[in-house]
């Protein structure tokens, strides 16, 4: 991929405490992968480079409101998120208790996300961007290429990858700026995701490779 700030955007999914902090609700499942990949450090390197080189940054967050708990059918991961109160907020228009909660941004990312330039789209509700306005926000700014990272590798990141490919974007996944869960029966979500990234994405790059490619 030939990258340019004129048509390329960084999209980070769920840069939130519940999946990236050792205090988060899902750290037991994802923590080992986050630490091995240096996911947080690599995401921050991309954030920093994007701001220095004037690349647009988009955040696709995950929030659940009390009304979402009344859903009548959930997959196993969805149900576990409700059970452990992942990404929980008091309501769509209520920020009570949000600051430093599991749904809030990781502290070290806040200077980049809260700079008045980063575009935070509406929340996705399951895994993919079909339920938020990410595609609209990208199209309105004539973005053609995406550098994709964030959490969780085999769930929200892969679901975003698949939908954005169907929408016609050219996508590179930053494979060490993501991490995945490990389950004693289901296996290693990160390894499964990286296999699929190679089958699906236009490129699968490391953070070092991305930093060189960003003109």
- pTM for the predicted model, two decimal places: 0.95
The reply to whether 1 falls in a domain is no
Instruction: Give residue 195's pLDDT.
Output: 98
The reply to whether 2 falls in a domain is no
Residue 181's domain comprises 11-196+204-213
Instruction: Give residue 205's pLDDT.
Output: 98
**What's the domain count of the chain?**
1
The reply to whether 96 falls in a domain is yes
The reply to whether 3 falls in a domain is no
The reply to whether 5 falls in a domain is no
The reply to whether 208 falls in a domain is yes
Which CATH number belongs to the domain containing residue 96 in this structure? 3.40.50.850
The reply to whether 35 falls in a domain is yes
The reply to whether 30 falls in a domain is yes
* C-alpha distances in Å from residue 63, one per residue of 121, 135, 146, 182, 215: 11, 18, 23, 23, 34
Q: What's the longest Cα–Cα distance across the chain? A: 48
Per-residue pLDDT in tens (0 to 9) along the chain, 215 residues: 789 999 999 999 999 999 999 999 999 999 999 999 999 999 999 999 999 999 999 999 999 999 998 999 999 888 888 888 899 999 999 999 999 999 999 999 999 999 999 999 999 999 999 999 999 999 999 999 999 999 999 999 999 999 999 999 999 999 999 999 999 999 999 999 999 999 999 999 999 999 999 97
């Amino acid at each position: 991929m030939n990258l340019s700030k004129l048509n390329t955007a960084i999209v980070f999914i769920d840069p939130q405490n519940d999946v990236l902090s050792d205090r988060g609700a899902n750290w037991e499942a994802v923590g080992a992968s986050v630490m091995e990949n240096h996911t947080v450090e690599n995401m921050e390197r991309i954030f920093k480079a994007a701001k220095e080189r004037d690349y647009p940054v988009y955040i696709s967050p995950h929030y659940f409101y009390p009304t979402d708990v009344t859903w009548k059918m959930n997959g196993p991961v969805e149900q576990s998120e409700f059970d452990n109160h992942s990404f929980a907020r008091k309501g769509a228009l209520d920020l009570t208790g949000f600051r430093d909660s599991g749904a809030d941004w990781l502290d070290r990312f806040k200077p980049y996300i809260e700079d008045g330039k980063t575009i935070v789209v509406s929340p996705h509700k399951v895994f993919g961007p079909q339920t938020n306005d990410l595609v609209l926000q990208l199209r309105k700014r004539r973005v053609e290429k995406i550098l994709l990272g964030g959490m969780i590798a085999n769930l929200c990141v892969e679901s975003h990858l698949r939908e954005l490919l169907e929408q016609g974007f050219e996508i590179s996944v930053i494979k060490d700026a993501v991490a995945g869960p490990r389950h004693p029966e289901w296996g290693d979500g990160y390894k499964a995701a990286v296999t699929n990234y190679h089958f699906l994405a236009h490129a699968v790059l490391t953070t070092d490779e991305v930093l060189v490619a960003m003109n």
